[in-house]
Amino acid sequence: MTQHLLPDMDLAFTAHLRNCFLIREPGRILASYAKVRPQFTLEELGFPQQFELFKRECDRLGVPPPVLDASTTLSDPEGVLRALCDALAIPFEDNMLSWPAGPRASDGVWAPYWYTRVLASHGFDSPSGQEALSKGLGRPGLNAKELDADAKELNAKGSDAQRPDAADALKTLTAGQCAMAARADAFYQELRPFALTPVT
């Protein structure tokens, strides 16, 4: 959670770790975050810090560290986790693909605010509405009519894309948040080419 990396923090400890990076399409992150806390900056979400830490790791290792794209991970969790295990030289285990629903001791004080869907889950859920949220990036000044048109297009696609959270998330982004998502997308696009390809 790179938003916790403050400017004066000594990152020497990261050299003793095997670091990997989880990235997610910024529009989905902003829409999710804004439901709990509507006013925020990119630094509070950790986008610039993640990019700087990624560059630091590339320089330290001489090669990019493993990167997981959330949508690819959700589409093929076993394949991506196998690729991650290969990259980290650790064994893959089938129990990585499921877990018991409910709270865990490691959840911490933020669980009631951020982990509602995680607490109800027992495995990976497929992504939905990714392309519709991406359409909003780089379009500052979006109005409700344009957002509604994007949401209708998403719902017309059917199946998983009809999940209400995808269309609702798109509608909740304000013009300012869309502009912020466009800036965050630049960081996302820098790391995305390094995302692991699922192992079959």
In a domain, 165, yes or no: yes
Q: What is the mean pLDDT of residues 170-190?
A: 83
What pLDDT is stored for residue 170 in this prediction?
A: 55
Where are the extended beta strands (E) located within the chain? 21-23, 67-69
Assess if residue 136 is contained within a domain. yes
pLDDT confidence band for 21 (50 / 70 / 90): very high
Report if residue 162 sits inside a domain.
Answer: yes
Residue 199 lies in a domain: no
| Confidence label for 138 from pLDDT (cuts 50, 70 and 90) | very low
| Domain tally, the chain | 1
Using the predicted structure, report yes or no on whether residue 191 has a pLDDT greater than 60: yes
Looking at 37-143, list the stretches that DSSP marks H as alpha helix, in order from N- to C-terminal side. Answer: 42-45, 47-61, 70-75, 77-88, 111-114, 116-120, 130-135
Q: Is residue 200 part of a domain?
A: no
Residue 52 lies in a domain: yes
Residue 131 pLDDT more than 70?
A: no
Burial tier of 187 (Cβ tally within 10 Å: 0-12, 13-18, 19+): buried
Structural domain for 104, as ranges? 2-194
Examine residue 190 and state whether it is found in any structural domain, yes or no. Answer: yes
pLDDT of residue 167 exceeding 60:
no
